[in-house]
Structure 1
Amino acid sequence: MQNATLVFDLDGTLVDSLPDLAAATNHALSDLALPLVPKETLRKTVGFGARRMIVEGLALHGHTLPEPEVDRLLARFLAYYEPNIALETRPYEGAIDAIEGFRREGARIAICTNKRLALTQHLLAELGIAALFDGVAGRDSFPVYKPHPDHVRGAVRLAGGSVKRAVMIGDTGIDIAAAGAAAIPVVGCAFGYSEAPIETLKPDAVITHYRELDAAVRRLLAGATSPAGPG
């Protein structure tokens, strides 16, 4: 793992944040006196961000709103979510052990998420795991964000690594597309929030539990070649 950089998505990959995100969505929608949306109904929208979750919640009740009204609900979402960000959100079983193992072997660890940076840093601090990451790239860290490849490349740089020895770990088509565009191999997490079965999105490897990640990463690093572009 020496000189390797592992880039993790956050929601649905490192942490199961659906309960708290769904609670914030329902808080926002409660302003319209709408019934609660079951969290599992919102699962496949998490990777697209809070606005998409709100819009999906509205659509389930037959509502559409003009953009300024969606903006208002988004502000309501964020005002609730920030102080309640880690009420039920937890790392997936085995995730922290896996990362600590990679770090002991000399790997650099980065996060590349479409969650805003301040919220990402707050969540990591609340969970007590911020020190595990050498670089953290949020949605607003650069002018672009996933699926743009420069978001992933930027996360690698923040961690002090090289894209020539990097592997992405994610749970949605957004992650797979971003890694592919950056010419970085990608591990798909079958336990996450993908709209479609992760296998159908053709990641380079698939895991169903973090106990499988070490072997998958080693295989991909062993097959890594240099045409990944500038490091």
Structure 2
Amino acid sequence: MTERDLEGWTIAFDLDGTLVETHLDLVGTLNRMLVRHGLPEAPMESASSLIGGGARALLQHGFERAGAPWNEAQAPDLFDAFIADYIDHIADHSRPFDGVVETLERLAARGAILCVATNKRTDLSLMLLDRLDLTRHFAVVAGPDRVSARKPSGAHLRDAVTLAGGDPARAIMVGDAAPDTGAARDADMLCIVATFGYSPIPPEDLGGDVLIDSFEDVEEAIDGLLSDLYVLRALSKV
């Protein structure tokens, strides 16, 4: 029988670049937008580092990299067209990273509350997670429209954990980019950084507490962080 040693702890996950490898569909939509405007496509791998800032930032940087001036007046129409295209292709190629389902199941069996805290809109996040049969693992999926502030504000994480029925004082963030580590620091939460995500900043420079090279390392990283935390608490009482 699995020991429920994570009872009372909440693990909050970023979505793009942490739980799901989404860059092929996001950059695919960007490239269809560029082609429609007579611009060259963005290289798939180099553009993947633009994903963490959201769809608007992806669009703007994509157009600027293609040599087109960014017209803020046209931004709402471009954004709407981007979202419409992305919805049609949201899970053409997007897949969970190796080990995601198995790891989530083990964490839940150990008593952890699981939630998603993402800067992707909640409806799009749920649409993607539903298509990949991942929604069932999470107590709540919280995009920026469902909380009081978006990452890197710690309010995003605190609100998401609270909505999930957890305690923000007993929560760990798992992400891949600066908005994740920034939000974790602001919320005074421990943070695990995935090196396989979409950060333009080297993962070791993001300021997380521990790096993982595979999603399958999440559980071990959580155990190590909590072990260190409990030791520090014990020493503080000596």
TM over 0.5: yes
Partners of 1:159 and 1:3 in 2: how far apart? 12
1:22 aligned onto 2:30: no
SS in 1 for 2:141: strand
SS in 2 for 1:110: strand
Gaps of 5+ in 2: 1-5, 231-238
**TM-score normalised by the chain length of structure 1:** 0.94
**TM-score normalised by the chain length of structure 2:** 0.91
The code of the aligned residue for 2:17 comes to: G
Partners of 1:88 and 1:75 in 2: how far apart? 21
**1:31: which partner in 2?**
36
**1:137: which partner in 2?**
142
Partners of 2:218 and 2:134 in 1: how far apart? 19
**1:44: which partner in 2?**
49
**1:161: which partner in 2?**
166
**1:58: which partner in 2?**
63
1:24 deviates by: 1.0
SS in 2 for 1:167: strand
**1:9: which partner in 2?**
14
**2:233: which partner in 1?**
none
**2:235: which partner in 1?**
none
1:223 deviates by: 3.7
**2:102: which partner in 1?**
97
Q: How high is the sequence identity, in percent, across the aligned residues? A: 36
- Note the 1:77-116 alignment, pairs <5 A: 77-116=82-121
- Asked if 2 retains the 8 angstrom alpha-carbon contact of 1:164 and 1:224, the reply is no
The code of the aligned residue for 2:113 comes to: R
Partners of 2:24 and 2:215 in 1: how far apart? 21
1:181 deviates by: 0.4
Number of aligned residue pairs: give it.
227
Gaps of 5+ in 1: 226-231
1:143 deviates by: 3.2
1:68 deviates by: 2.1
Output one character per residue of 1:70-114: Cα deviation in whole Å (capped at 9) or x when no partner: 222111110100121001000000111111100011110000000
**1:126: which partner in 2?**
131
- Asked if 2 retains the 8 angstrom alpha-carbon contact of 1:86 and 1:126, the reply is yes
The code of the aligned residue for 1:88 comes to: H
Task: Pick the structure with greater CA Rg.
Answer: 2
